[in-house]
Every structure is written in C-alpha cells, then in structure tokens.
Structure 1
Amino acid sequence: MRRHFGDDFPRLAYVDALRRDVLPPHIEVEEFYLQSGALLGAPAAQRRYASLNYTHVARALADRGLNVVVQKVAREPGDGEPTRLSLSCNTDVTLDALDALAARGQPRPLMIAEIDPSLPWLGGSAAVPADLFDVVVTPPGPHPPLFGLPRQPVGDADYAIGFHASTLVLDGGTLQIGIGALADALSHALVLRHTDNAAYRRILRDLGSPRADDPALAPFGAGLYGCSEMVNEGFRRLVQVGVVGRKVVDDLALMQRLADDSADAADRARLARDGEYLHGAFYLGSPEFYAWLRGLPDDERRAIGMRRVSAINDLDGRDEPLKRLQRRDARFFNTCMMATALGAATSDALDSGRVVSGVGGQYNFVAMAHALPGARSVLMLRATRDSGGRSTSNVVWSYGHITIPRHLRDLYVSEYGVADLRGRADEDCAIAMIAIADARFQAGLVAAARANDKLRRGFEPPARWAENTPEVLRERLAPHRAAGALPDYPLGSDFTPVEQRLAKALGWLKAHADHKLQIAVRAMTGAASEDVEALQRMQLDRPQGPQEWLQSRLLGLALRMTA
C-alpha cells in the first residue's frame, strides 16, 4: 500500500466515519455506487444509498438543489493562464447536472476546479472554458499520485469466461467492457485472437467452444470502436495492439455514407483525420495506464473522446440516429453476481436489500442492446463463489432481488460456455443456463425446473454437463498456462514477483479453508519452504513461537502447491 499509493495518500475521513456509523449529525452522505462489498456492514451507507441508473444521477442532483460542484481538472498544456480546462477523468455528470438545473430554472451552483498536474489532458468534448468555474485552485505540492487501481490476477474461471465471451465480438463492431478480472480476461482473449490466432483457437478448442474453427474469429481487420462508460486498462492494451481502431465522427451524413458504402476519398480522409475510436464517460486504471494517456502523441490523444454519461449510456436525444450508425454490431459486456435459470440477473444488491455496489450503467447497456439492431448484451458470471469454506452456485432458480429482469434476458457467459436466452421460451432458457452451471449444482436446478413445470417430462441432462468442474477446467488450461499464453497478470502487475507468488499461495490457502485440519497436517509434516524471499516478505522467515511456525509451514505448503 505504501509503495503503490505513497505514505501521504489522502484518506477519506468521511468513509471511515461511514463505516463506524459516526458521521456528525449535520452531515449526510448519499451515494449511488459503492466500492463492491466494502460497505455491506455500514448502516449509515446502507440507509442513505440512492438506487439510480448512472444516466439519472444528474436529475437526482437537481432534485436535491445542488449548490456546489468540486471537480478535479487537467490544465491545458502551455504557458500563461489557461483559457480551457479538461474534465479529463470525469466528464460523466458535471455538464448534465448543470443542464438539469438550468432546465428547472434553479440557480447555478458554485463551480470549483482543482487542477491536478498529474491528470492527463484530454481535449475535444472533455475540454471546457476555464470560466465555467467560479474558482480555480492549484494546491501546492507535493501532489499525491492519482488513485491507481491495483490490477488483480486472472484465474482459470476468469480466463475461460473471457475466451468464451470473446467469440461473441464481431470485427467492425462496437465494444463496451467493465472493470475487474473478467474484463481483463476478455481483453486478453481479444488481444490473442488478433496477435496469435492459432494459440487463441487452441485454447477455444480445449475449452470445448463450438466456435473454435469459425472463420469469423480471424484477426481483426476493420477493428472495433470502443464506446464504454469506463475507459480502463483493457482498452489501453486493445488500442496498443490495434484491436480498437475503428473511427467514428459526429456527422450523421458522413456516417450514413460510410454505412451504405458510398463514402468517397475525401470522406475517408476526414474520418482518418478527425475520427475517434474510443469514447468514455470516466476512466480509472493503474499508474501505467495514466502514464500511457499522458504520453500519447497528439493525433492519438485526439482519437479518445471523453463525454457525458448521457451521451455514452443512452440512445435518447436528437443524436440518436447518429449513435445508431456509430454503434453497429455492439457488444455490451458486464458482470453480474448471480443469474436465475430463467434469465434474471442480480448485480448490485442482496435479497435482504443490502447494497453491494450499485446499478451504475448496467441496465442502460442491457436496454440499449435490445434497442440497437445487431447489438447484444452479455452478462458474465463465475459459476460458483466460495465463502466460509463452502461453494455455492451463482446460477440459481430464483432470487429475492434482481437488477436485470428476465424479459431483458440475452446472453450469459460462465466458465462453462455461452447461454443464448434472447427471445427463447422458459424451458429453453432453463436448459441453457443449467448447461453453464457447475456440475455440483445442476441436479438441484433441474429438480427446481421440473417442480415448477419448466422442464418437459423425461428430460435428462447430457453426460457432457458433468465435465463442468473446476478440476476439469484446470486440466484443460494447464498446458496453455505453462506455454505462457495465459499469464496471471495479462495487463501488467503492480505487485513485485515475490508478491505475485504470495498472492497465488494465499489464494490457495483461502480456497482450501474448508479443509483446515488436513492442510495443517500436511504443512506440519512437510518440508520447510525454500522460498526464503517469500517468507521474508511475510515476516515469517524467523518464526517466533508455535503460531508463527505453523503459519510459516502453511505458507510454505501453499507456495509449493502453486509453484
């Protein structure tokens, strides 16, 4: 933490107070999105959570009589007093909120800009006149680094999901992805499809994908247009290798000529000169990601357009015909926590009402997939989750809270394949979802479907469904892991090599927490670890007392098992 964020990285005092439920009585904090799972046990945060689509946040701010906006901004390069500032990392809500207030005849809020010298300058629609703000401040240095999201390792299930999902992407289409290990795995799969197509297809074959030999999965020619609520680490890599590169312009007539193949040389020259291949409402990534944005040549930086969230997440408005032409063959990839066998999804909260994260833009993208011709919504989920030493299924018969209703069901992807539910009858949906569930839980799902008259008499699960196990998946991917095609950190790592080894070892211990006694016996009777560097990093190279000795042996066992 010290190495990644620095010793003096500012801590948010209000978050600590929220967690301890000790906010002063004259302060109330409302949020529409929470760090995933971080505030499940925070009563104040749970009470004052507002469930909103991202595109409705500006309206909700106007409802509350917004009177102050504080916005981190980037300074335009050059000497002298800047005439423009860039909203850069957060173009999402500010301008929409000002419009919502003006439409109601409400007073304009006090606008305060804080210039951060490390924030990348992005022009175009992210640039605003400096006089939009009433106050512009540049805090004295030293300046803390930008918040850098640590990159997480990608596991076998994540990779399998990413590769199955990658088969749904059409060359020349449009891409939206979220954040986390599943998005990293999908990005890596698309990169491999483009840069080493033979290795990509070998992995698909071993995963049992029916599309492993599909000619449509050739390297990208036209490339993809990125149109995503969040621009992240995956997009950086996709741009670098040329997967994301299909440009669009905000000119309806020109986009129509491109669509009907009547564009001339002048049209194509303008597209190459003025077009943009990546649009987003905010960005978040690692220090390496921010350095990439800062170091882009001007012509490449101009191809990235940061826009209002209403422009990214919605079709509504006067520019809907333009968006429809730009967003051809769109694939909207998002993650959900659980899905029902009939196609509903829960992504933001538990059935008790406790909020895990928030709706964000997920509903917008799912609805947009049904509104755009040729578009698809893809919800990715791991087939199981482990907690308290036991595994439970993320494919369930029903759940007491849903984020996406079943009438908007479309594509689901787990590590065991793709379930296409769009327009299908309930029985077909149940069969497709059970087919991508973990084998340990299929019988229960089949029984529930039969009990509720959703399966015909005499239905028997195919024998191949029994292969849906973590052990089989691990065996299938092991050769590709060994060959280097599936690295633990496909988009780079913020951890040192020893920390990467420790992360795998500690993850192994956590995964085997339901076998404490057996693991302890193996650790105590086995040899001491030879990975002195890892033991030193955990301060267990010279254990003091029996508890540290046991911890040292447990860690040594885990290091050997994950070497």
Structure 2
Amino acid sequence: MSTTENYRAKTMTAAQAAALIPDDAKMVVGLGVSYPPALMDALADRVRSGTLTGGTLYCMLACAIASKSILAPDLHDRIRHVSLFHGGVERSTDALRNDTMQSLVETLPVQFHQIPRILTEHLHADTLFVTVSPMDADGYFSLGTNTDYALAVARSGVRLVVEVNPAMPTVHGDCKIPLSAITAIVENHVPLVQIPALPRTSNDEAIGAIIADMVEDGACLQMGIGAVPDAVCAALMHHRNLGIHTELLSPGLVRLIQAGVVDNSRKPIHTGRSVFTFAMGDQSLYDFLHDNPALEAHPVEYVNAPHVIARNDRMISVNATIQVDLSGACNSEHMNGRQYSGTGGQLDFVRGAYAAKGGRSIIACHSTAAKGKVSRIVPWLDGPVTTPRTDTHIVVTEYGWADMKGKTLSERARALIGIAHPDFREELERGAFERRLL
C-alpha cells in the first residue's frame, strides 16, 4: 500500500474516530493551540449520549472552546478531568464545585519536564488526541506549535488520533510523527487559537527595564507568558547576540528574533537555532514558525531538563509568581484557596538557569495585587511552595531586585521588605519578627 493509500485508509470522520475509543480510556489531549476541536466535539457527543463511560481526560492549559465541548459543565460527572496545569477553563470549572464542595477538576502536581514520563510510565495513557500539520512528502506529520509532552506520548504506542489542520505550521526539530504510528486521521481546516497580548502597565515596564539591565549581550533567554515577560522583551531591543532556549515561544521573543537581537550565535548547543517546546500567541507568530529553519521544537523532557538548560551559558530565566514569602519561597500556582495555574516549568528553569555558567534565575511580580490592597510579598505563603527558598535566586518587583543567594533568613527578609510596596513594609517587618526572622 502506498503512502497516499495508507493515508486515505486511516482518514475518517470525527465521529468515526471517536467511536474507536473504549470505555475507561486514559486519554491525553494536546496542550493549548494543539487542542483538536472536531475530535473533542465528537468525543463530547459520545460521552453525552452515554456510549462512552468511565474515561479520564488529562489536559494542560485547555483552550476556551473546550468549555463548550468535552469540558462542558454538564459532562463533569461523566468524564474525569485531570489538569496538569490550570488555565481559564479549569479555573472556571473549579469555581463551580459540586454539592460536596469538591472540585470538579482534579489537579495533578507535576513539573513540566516530568509530564511525559508521568503520562506514559505511571498513568499508562492509552490515547492521544492532537492537532498536527499536513503530512510531508516523507510521510511525517509535524506537531507544529506543540511538541511538549505530545511527542513522548505519541511514541509510547498509544492509540494516536490526529486532527490534520493546514493552519498548523510545519516546524523543524525533533517534533515529527510518522503515518505508521497513527490510528486515525480527521481533517479539519479551522483557524488556530490565538492568545491576545495583555496590555502592559507602568509597573510591567519598570520590572522589564530592571530585568533587561541584568541581561548581558550573548545571554540565552527563557520567558514565561504575560505582560511582564513581554515588557522584558521590549526592553531588550538594543541588546545583541542573544539566544533562546525556552519552554514557551511567545510573540515577544519572536519580535527579538525578527529585530536581529536574537541570533543564537553564542549558544554552545543548538548554535544558530532558537529552541522551544510549545508556542502560543497570534497569527503572526504561527506564520513565522512555518518551515523556519532558525527555530527548532523539541520535547519538553529535553527542553526543560535542568541539566540541558544548564548547558546554555549566561542563561536568563524569567518567570512570574503569585506570592513570595520573607524567606524567599514562592507560591506561583495557588490563589484564594484554590488552584490557579500549576508548577509548570518554573522550577525546571529556576534550577537549570542557576546551574548554568553565569546564569540567573529571576522571579518577577508586581509588589501588590487586588488593585494595591494585597502585598505579594508576605510573611507566610497562602498556598503550596512552587519554588523552594533554597532554589530562589533573584526576585524583582517594580521597586527593585533582591538576590537571595548567600543571604541568611534575616538578610532575605530585609531585602524582600526593601522591594515590597512601601504601604506594606511596616506590616511585613512585624510579620518578620513574628516569624523570628528578625
């Protein structure tokens, strides 16, 4: 059978593909942009009709359309939803709760680079649904915006159901799956999910300028998502010879490449190439990704492995947090008594960047939240520790930066109070005495 004939033999409707899934399946769905809408609608129809029962769906950063499909409120008692990292869909669902006040979404705490192993070795996932680019002349499909955990799961022998979308860019790197590994193909040409940029505030700009001053020419960057990383990227426009080794490829980083600020010329590994594991942003980002040899996608167990990150000299990691306590510990995932996001890759890059020669791990946050009513620097964390105090390196607010390394607990407390909002410094000092840090 020729490749074309094999492709046609595996091509079917979304309903036919969903019909292949047995009861009690352990299903993984693609992260963010790679969420396959036609397949998930068909799967939701099966669950709603009662012809598919007992299934578990593992998700990370589910896109908004999922809340009207497989993650719709009326299906929460029929399919188990396990979140690897909360987004808006999970936060909204979690707020609903049920009659026993239990969350309708289960949270699986995990570092991003460990997710492929968790899914394949510990949970034994048996099905992967993901959007891919059209097949190339050699019979391979690119995972496009989302190599992350999808590649490892695809290679583990699971039931692999793909939604082929011509809008998905073909990407270079270790991010391709062969036709022979695929169980079913569904074709669906729809626009990719786009994430609009958040407006930047004066505090974002101040933090961005502080961080940009710490970045040397020739440094290698990892940036999270949001207004602060965008502000950092904007403040780096006069730098030269920067590199990129990041879990997320964002529009801000792409603009640095397009401006010639990033050329990856000084990277000891993947020299001349920007490395990422997933991408999310606007259409211009997806267009820039397509068939661009200056960009390489690799699986998250490689990109986010601390020992791989550490091979990049002058690695600069920039991530956000919700709270920093006076000892330097960070809660970056829990808010108002509920799961807000997840561990994700923060600790991966905190450890990897600090281990790099000349590397710096930076945790950034506004000094306050809730329109200035709440301090983000606190005596005690209100949630879990995402980054332990022993790992935290540099903390930045709009009032400056504090280096935690080499500081005693009392020195850390004083340094963090010094970059807190002035309205809360006296209160924080009292809290430091209550904690016996001062």
- Note the 1:252-291 alignment, pairs <5 A: 255=268, 275-291=271-287
CA distance in 2 between counterparts of 1:119 and 1:349 reads 33
Aligned mates of 1:312, 1:448 — CA distance in 2? 39
Return the alpha-carbon distance in structure 1 between the equivalents of residues 274 and 314 of structure 2: 15
2:411 and 2:149 map into 1 onto residues whose CA distance is 41
- Structure number having the greater strand percentage: 2
Which position in structure 2 is the counterpart of 1:29? Answer: 81
Change (3 A) 1:403 1:39: farther
* Number of the residue aligned with 2:376: 394
Instruction: Return the match for 2:348 from 349, 364, 375.
Output: 364
Taking the aligned partners of 1:275 and 1:82, their CA distance within structure 2 comes to 26
The answer to whether the 8 Å contact 2:86/2:340 transfers is yes
Q: Pick the aligned partner of 2:216 from 142, 145, 170.
A: 170
CA contact (8 A) 2:222 2:316 kept: yes
Q: Which residue of 1 aligns with 2:173?
A: 124
SS at match of 1:120: coil
Q: 1:424 aligns with which of 397, 400, 407?
A: 407
Corresponding residue number in structure 2 for 1:239: 257
Identity within the alignment, %? 26
Bigger radius of gyration, 1 or 2?
1
Letter in 1 for 2:123: R
1:379 to 363, 372, 381: 363
In 1, distance between residues paired with 2:127 and 2:170? 24
Secondary structure of the 2:426 match is helix
What is the CA–CA distance in structure 2 between the aligned matches of 1:403 and 1:383, rounded to whole Å?
Answer: 18
Q: What is the one-letter code of the residue matched to 1:152?
A: L
> TM-score, normalised on structure 1?
0.61
1:308 maps to 299
Q: Which runs of 5+ in 1 are unaligned?
A: 1-7, 102-107, 195-218, 250-254, 257-273, 456-563
Q: Which residue of 2 aligns with 1:113?
A: 162
Q: Distance in 2 between matches of 1:74 and 1:351?
A: 40
1:342 and 1:426 in contact (8 A); partners too: yes
Further displaced range: 52-61 or 173-182:
52-61
Distance 1:336 1:452 in 2: 22
The alpha-carbon distance between structure 1 residues 127 and 17, as it changes in their structure 2 partners (threshold 3 A), is: closer
TM-score w.r.t. structure 2 length? 0.78
Distance 2:379 2:369 in 1: 16
Distance 1:26 1:38 in 2: 18
* Larger helix proportion of the pair: 1
Q: 2:16 aligns to what?
A: none
- Alignment partners' CA distance in 1, 2:75 and 2:323: 33
Identify which range, 126-135 or 417-426, moves more after superposition: 126-135
Residue aligning to 1:69? 128
In the aligned structure 2, how far is the partner of 1:54 from the partner of 1:288? 26
Contact 2:81 2:104 in 1 (8 A): no
Distance 2:126 2:435 in 1: 53
What is aligned with 2:47? none
Distance 1:230 1:177 in 2: 7
Which residue in the other structure is 1:157 paired with?
203
Give matches, 1:205-354, under 5 Å: 219-220=239-240, 223-247=241-265, 255=268, 275-294=271-290, 301-316=292-307, 320=308, 324-325=310-311, 327-350=312-335, 352=337, 354=338
TM-superposed CA distance for 1:15, in Å, is 2.5
Counting matched residue pairs gives 371
Deviates more, 1:275-284 or 1:327-336: 275-284
Aligned to 2:95: 41
SS at match of 2:245: strand
Task: Kindly indicate whether the alpha-carbon contact (under 8 Å) linking 1:76 and 1:121 is maintained by their aligned counterparts in 2.
Answer: no
> Which residue does 1:542 correspond to in 2?
none
| Alpha-carbon contact 2:306-2:348 (below 8 Å) kept | no
Question: Are the aligned partners of 2:402 and 2:419 in contact in 1 as well (CA < 8 Å)?
Answer: yes
Q: Deviations over 1:296-345 (max 9, x none)?
A: xx6xx1120000001111045xxx5xx644x1110110000111121011
Moved more, 62-71 or 84-93: 62-71
Give CA-to-partner distance per residue, 1:166-193, whole Å, 9 cap, x none.
Answer: 11212112100011111111110111xx
Q: Which amino acid aligns with 1:58?
A: P
Rounded to whole Å, the distance in 2 between the matches of 1:446 and 1:20 is 46
* CA distance in structure 1 between the partners assigned to 2:64 and 2:335 by the alignment: 26
- 2:145 aligned partner: 89
1:173-219 alpha-carbon deviations (Å, 9 max, x no partner): 2100011111111110111xx1xxxxxxxxxxxxxxxxxxxxxxxx4
Q: In structure 2, what is the Cα distance between the partners aligned to 1:149 and 1:411?
A: 28
d(CA) in 2 for partners of 1:315 and 1:334? Answer: 15
Tell me how far apart the structure 1 counterparts of residues 272 and 141 of structure 2 sit (CA, whole Å).
Answer: 20
1:148 to 172, 194, 202: 194
SS at match of 1:111: strand
Mapped partners of 1:18, 1:439: distance in 2: 47
Deviation at 1:231, TM superposition (A): 0.4
